[in-house]
Chain A
Amino acid sequence: DAGVIQSPRHEVTEMGQEVTLRCKPISGHNSLFWYRQTMMRGLELLIYFNNNVPIDDSGMPEDRFSAKMPNASFSTLKIQPSEPRDSAVYFCASSFRGAAEAFFGQGTRLTVV
């Protein structure tokens, strides 16, 4: 298996632009997580899905952030409009619900200028 695949690996955008991050979980996994990592706050859970259904989005910073999982093999995290304070590394992870441990993608490094 190729593992969790995220795209793009790097994204530089101007403030106010829409940004879409993509994630393909490991085949057969039924839980998917979006995390954000910054120096100041460490690793923060933004949202997670079980069986494509959002379960907890309490970590989503504000209405500018939205996440979808239209099917078991694809998820997106969208920021609209983007702001410089959104600059971070965004990780997607997936797990098989009964196993507890999660497998992480390589991350998307987002820079908003």
Chain B
Amino acid sequence: GDSVTQMEGPVTLSEEAFLTINCTYTATGYPSLFWYVQYPGEGLQLLLKATKADDKGSNKGFEATYRKETTSFHLEKGSVQVSDSAVYFCALSDHGGTALIFGKGTTLSVSS
């Protein structure tokens, strides 16, 4: 079945450092791909998405490109802030109205 694999955390960075969180997926069709973020004590919020190959999703300085050839959707940010500390989830969904399939999440901790 479809699945998502994320890099293990936690990821600990200093403010203004470059961030990469790796995500790869397995899917039989052509899924949509998502990054969600969960701040402490809150629900998951959609951070960005891409619906087809070579699409780049971006939001709040974060970017991810849908790479069909490598089945990847890595999350990047050029300069992280303390306020970016959260848990980040990669997810996929096919277009048939089924539920999102999530990776296990990666905890990011940014210190000043």
Binding site for B on A (CB under 8 A): 4, 31, 33, 42-43, 45, 48, 50, 55-56, 91, 93, 97-98, 100-107
Contacts and interface: CB of A to CB of B under 8 A. Distances in A.
Interface centre among A56, A100, A105 (most CB of B within 10 A): A100
Interface in B13-45: 32, 34, 36, 42-45
A56 B98 contact: yes
Contacts of A48: 98-99
Given A33-B99, A45-B99, A48-B99, A101 B46 contact: yes
B104 A101 contact: no
A101 B45 contact: no
B75 to A, nearest CB: 16
A45 B46 CA distance: 17
Contacts of B104: 42-43
Interface string B85-100: 0000100010101111
Contact of B97 (A31, A93, A101, A105): A31
B42 A106 contact: yes
B40 to A, nearest CB: 12
A43 B105 CA distance: 8
B43 A100 contact: no
Interface string B41-75: 01111100101000000000000000000000000
Interface centre among A31, A98, A104, A107 (most CB of B within 10 A): A104
A85 B86 CA distance: 25
Nearest to B95: A100
B105 A56 contact: no
A93 B91 CA distance: 14
A67 B51 CA distance: 31
A47 B29 CA distance: 22
B102 A100 contact: no
A43 B43 CA distance: 11
Contacts of B105: 42-43
A93 B49 CA distance: 17
A93 B100 CA distance: 10
